[in-house]
């Protein structure tokens, strides 16, 4: 087990800038966060766009809570399928949320992205989510109450980049 995960105490709170959300095409994997993150970053970089809002992102054993002004969005841990520090924008942390969407014209996955104060903060956030996944996994094993699947990518941006290059060269 990774040392950094073992030493994560939950809940963890981070002040981040919310880039927004964009439809993801799959349940987990950097290949499903790449395009949404690129689109959100490009939109944020437009000179006419206001700075993304500061929010508090709180990771707990129960899930992820986004607190913006006096509004709160809560994503139960079983609805978060994937989380990762982006490999191109290393200050960006993103996660894929599984929605309860019955609309046939819309994918059931959203990628939500946040800009952290530093690359290390994005990494720490990734570890906090991994600790939440582990706590949820232990709870599920103990109670036998769910068959939800989720993934956390703990590889460094450099390791992720090598994987993407390997996949591209194999294709």
CATH number of the structural domain spanning residue 116? 2.30.29.30
Query: Are the CB atoms for 18 and 68 separated by under 8 Å?
Result: yes
pLDDT tens series, the chain, 171 aa:
444 554 568 899 999 999 999 888 887 788 888 899 999 999 888 877 788 889 999 999 999 999 998 899 999 998 999 999 999 999 999 999 988 765 555 678 899 999 999 999 999 999 999 989 888 877 777 665 555 555 566 667 677 677 666 655 655
Structural domains counted in the chain: 1
Please give the pLDDT value at position 3.
47
Please give the pLDDT value at position 27.
79
> Pairing state of beta strands 80-85 and 151-153?
parallel
**In which region does residue 20 sit, left (phi positive, over 0), alpha (psi from -120 to 50) or beta (all else)?**
left
Please give the pLDDT value at position 167.
54
- Could you give the CA distance from residue 24 to residue 156 in angstroms, rounded to a whole number? 22
Please give the pLDDT value at position 70.
83
- Could you give the CA distance from residue 141 to residue 149 in angstroms, rounded to a whole number? 13
Range of the domain at 135: 3-170
Please give the pLDDT value at position 143.
61
């Amino acid at each position: 087990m990774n040392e950094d995960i073992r030493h994560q105490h939950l809940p963890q709170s981070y002040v981040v800038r919310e880039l927004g959300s964009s439809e993801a095409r799959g349940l987990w994997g950097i290949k499903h966060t790449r395009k949404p993150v690129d689109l959100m970053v490009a939109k944020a970089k437009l000179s006419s766009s206001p700075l993304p809002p500061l929010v508090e992102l709180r990771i707990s054993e129960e899930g992820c809570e986004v607190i913006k002004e006096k509004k709160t969005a809560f994503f139960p841990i079983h609805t978060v399928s994937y989380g990762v520090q982006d490999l191109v924008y290393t200050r960006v942390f993103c996660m894929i949320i599984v929605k309860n969407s019955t609309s046939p014209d819309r994918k059931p996955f959203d990628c939500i992205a946040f800009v952290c104060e530093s690359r290390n903060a994005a990494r720490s956030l990734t570890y906090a989510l991994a600790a939440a996944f582990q706590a949820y996994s232990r709870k599920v094993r103990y109670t036998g109450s769910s068959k939800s699947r989720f993934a956390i990518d703990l590889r460094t941006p450099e390791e992720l980049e090598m994987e993407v290059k390997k996949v591209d060269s194999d294709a």
